[in-house]
Amino acid sequence: MARRIHIFDTTLRDGEQAPGFSMNLKEKLRLALQLERLGVDIIEAGFPIASQGDFEAVKEISRQVERCKVAGLCRARFQDIDRAWEALQYARHPRIHTFIATSDIHLTHKLRKSRQEALKDAVKAVEHAKHFCEDVEFSAEDASRSDPDFLVDIFTAVIDAGATVINIPDTVGYAVPWEFGALVRRICEEVPNIYRAQVSVHCHNDLGLAVANSLAALQNGAQQVECTINGIGERAGNAALEEIVMALRVRQPEFQCSTGIDTRQLYPTSQLLVQITGKSVQVNKPIVGENAFAHEAGIHQDGVLKNPMTYEIMTPQSVGVPSSKIVMGKHSGRNALNHRLQLLGFRPSREELDRLYQRFTELADRKKYVSDDDLIQLARSICSLQEA
């Protein structure tokens, strides 16, 4: 039986922290309701103590979201936790998410605390959060650069204090997959009370490895993955939700994992985020980019026209994209040109197609993209060509 992976979406918290991606209450609520349609398990709605606007957004999302768990982030400080609960108390399924840094570089230069002080603060924070909420997540910030022995100690302590989820973040995107997978496996094997908590990971993309690290973690025992729509987030962003979900689906025999995501909602959710933020995804973005199901090279076009599986490992419809695109450009072949002309109502003979193809390639060398109007004009310029 496939192991169920929980999808923790932090688009509205970590994703929104990316420069230029801030959202107001109305926009956050609109996206949260779409995330619920998408089928995520947990929506991290914001950082309630950060601002009044964030507090109000977490509170309103808590009121309106029905099926998903709603999480609010807070530092390992009582005032943060109190403020988070003020907003989360309206949620049907609330989660308090508290964190403290555990790497020596963060402890020394940012927090100016010893390891033992950080451990005590973490335990006190979890204990305080448990007064309000049964579901408490603890994150060891910068875990991938932390001493694994200290991680074992602090995770053991917070689980004893009541943490139901422990999160292993690659906060600065420093890890590589085999190393991060080994760290997750070590935590799963060496934390004596790990059976009482769910293991989560949160990977950043500074080296372009966030999705790979997340998948390596899932292969080594992680049960929850934290990610964002379109991979947005601090600096180079987070692990992209749509890439993780489709990797697990397309390579299901390899991973033996499933999610509760309605994959047909991936593209609509991506487009809604683009609409809200005004920030487009790069055209070659996997799953949701403009070119993800577009084909210009003649060999590829010929294969796709004969059987889409020759070059598409998933159907566009499976992620909510209406159809593949055959893009007419200088790399296109005769079969693709003929296919496009027939869609436009023309039935060229072999000789006419040869003449059209020569004219087409001349035009394509001058233009990046040959439009349907261009093709219609070319077809009509061949006198003997009759429209169907």
Task: Classify strands 136-141 and 94-101 as parallel, antiparallel or unpaired.
Answer: parallel
**231 and 261 assigned to the same domain:** yes
Q: Report yes or no: 148 and 186 within 8 Å, Cβ to Cβ.
A: yes
CA distance 124 to 120: 6
The secondary structure of the chain, three-state, reads: CCEECEEEECCCCCHHHCCCCCCCHHHHHHHHHHHHHHCCCEEEEECCCCCHHHHHHHHHHHHHCCCCEEEEEEECCHHHHHHHHHHHCCCCCEEEEEEEECCHHHHHHHHCCCHHHHHHHHHHHHHHHHCCCCCEEEEEECHHHCCHHHHHHHHHHHHHHCCCEEEEEECCCCCCHHHHHHHHHHHHHHCCCHHHCEEEEEEECCCCCHHHHHHHHHHCCCCEEEEEHHHCCCCCCECEHHHHHHHHHHCHHHHCEECCCCHHHHHHHHHHHHHHHCCCCCCCCCCCCCCCCEECCHHHHHHHHHCHHHCCCCCHHHHCCCCCEECCCCCCCHHHHHHHHHHCCECCCHHHHHHHHHHHHHHHHHCCCCCHHHHHHHHHHCCCCCEC
Give the span between the Cα atoms of 301 and 294, in whole angstroms. 9
Over residues 130-158, the mean pLDDT reads: 98
Regarding whether 181 and 35 lie in a shared domain, the answer is yes
**pLDDT at residue 194 greater than cutoff 60:** yes
pLDDT at 361 (0 to 100) = 87
Domain count, the chain: 2
User: Cα 227 from chain centroid?
Assistant: 5
Q: Which range among 60-74, 217-231, 264-278, 340-354 shows the weakest confidence by mean pLDDT?
A: 340-354
Residue 386, pLDDT > 50, answer no
- Answer for the pair 269, 229: CB distance below 8 angstroms, yes or no: yes
The reply to whether 254 falls in a domain is yes
| Residue 317 clears pLDDT 50, i.e. is over it | yes
Task: Identify the CA nearest to 249 among candidates 287, 217, 221.
Answer: 287
pLDDT tens string 231-249: 999 999 999 999 999 999 9
Q: Give CA separation, 75 vs 15, 25, 111, 198, in Å.
A: 18, 22, 12, 20
Q: Are residues 186 and 138 in the same domain?
A: yes
pLDDT at 388 over 50: no
For residues 221 and 184, the answer to whether their CB atoms sit within 8 Å is yes
Q: Is 365 exposed, middle or buried, given 0-12, 13-18 or 19+ CB atoms closer than 10 A?
A: exposed
Asked which of 82-96, 182-196, 365-379 is least confident by mean pLDDT, the reply is 365-379
Among the candidates 277, 304, 328, a domain finishes at 277
More confident residue, 90 or 348: 90
Arithmetic mean of pLDDT, 183-198: 98
Domain closes at, from 250, 277, 304: 277
Say whether both 256 and 341 belong to one domain: no
Lowest mean pLDDT among 57-66, 183-192, 350-359: 350-359
Bigger pLDDT: 239 or 296? 239
Say yes or no: 376 and 316 in one domain: yes
**CA–CA separation, 365 and 287 (whole Å):** 29
Task: Please compute the mean of the pLDDT values over residues 111-116 and round it to a whole number.
Answer: 97
Confidence of residue 90 (pLDDT cuts 50, 70, 90): very high
Residue 328 domain boundaries: 294-381
Residue type, 137: E
CATH code: domain of residue 148: 3.20.20.70
- Please indicate, yes or no, whether residues 300 and 256 belong to a single structural domain of this protein: no
Answer yes or no: is 284 within a domain: no
Provide φ and ψ at 70, rounded to 5°: -120, 125
If asked whether residues 170 and 306 sit together in one domain, one would say: no
Q: Which residues pair with 95 in a beta bridge?
A: 71
The answer to whether residue 282 sits within a structural domain is: no
Of 18, 21, 75, 14, give the one whose Cα is nearest residue 43. 14
State the Cα–Cα distance between residues 187 and 166, nearest whole angstrom: 10
| CB count in 10 Å sphere of residue 101 | 25
240 and 351 share a domain? Answer: no
Q: Report, as an integer, the average pLDDT of 148-161.
A: 98
Is 68 contained in some domain?
A: yes
- Note whether 265 and 363 are same-domain residues: no
Determine, yes or no, domain membership for 388: no
For residue 286, tell me if it sits in a domain: no
Taking residues 49-56, report their average pLDDT: 96
Percent of the chain's residues with pLDDT above 90 = 77
Is 143 found in the same domain as 196? Answer: yes
Q: In terms of domains, do 79 and 119 share one? A: yes
Q: Flag whether pLDDT at 387 surpasses 80.
A: no
Q: Are residues 186 and 313 in the same domain?
A: no
**Local confidence band at 53 (pLDDT 50, 70, 90 cut-offs):** very high
Question: What is the pLDDT confidence band of residue 279, given thresholds at 50, 70 and 90?
Answer: very high
What pLDDT was estimated at residue 384? Answer: 52
Give the orientation angle of helix 25-38 with respect to helix 52-64, to 10 degrees.
40
The residue type found at 229 is I
